[in-house]
Amino acid sequence: MSDLQTQFDAAVANSKNLSERPDNMTLLKLYGLYKQGSQGDNTEAKPSFTDMVARAKWDAWTQCKGQSKDDAMQKYIDLIESLS
């Protein structure tokens, strides 16, 4: 396992122990970076506009399209560190 993957896994674990809950926009950014870093570009079907939560998550992930997994992982790590 790469060092970056180890740091990413640690950041994911640390995300559950933040001193305070981030705002919704930050949570969506974290979600998008997490999905991009763990799965790559979004290939899932766009959710219905009536499912606002799923749609917001889908949009957040889609905004990361084209980023390499490594870049997304590093941005996720950096964001978690800034929130800690």
User: DSSP code of 47?
Assistant: P
Q: What is the pLDDT of residue 1?
A: 61
**Confidence (pLDDT) at 2:** 77
Which pLDDT tens digits describe the chain residue by residue (84 residues)? 679 999 999 999 999 999 899 999 999 999 999 999 999 999 999 999 899 999 999 999 999 999 999 999 999 999 999 998
- pTM score, whole prediction: 0.91
Domain count, the chain: 1
Residue with tokens 């800034």: 82
What are the C-alpha distances in Å from 27 to residues 2, 23, 53, 74? 26, 6, 12, 16
- Identify the CATH number of the domain in which residue 24 sits: 1.20.80.10
Which structural domain range is residue 75 located in? 3-83
Q: Residue 49 has what pLDDT?
A: 87
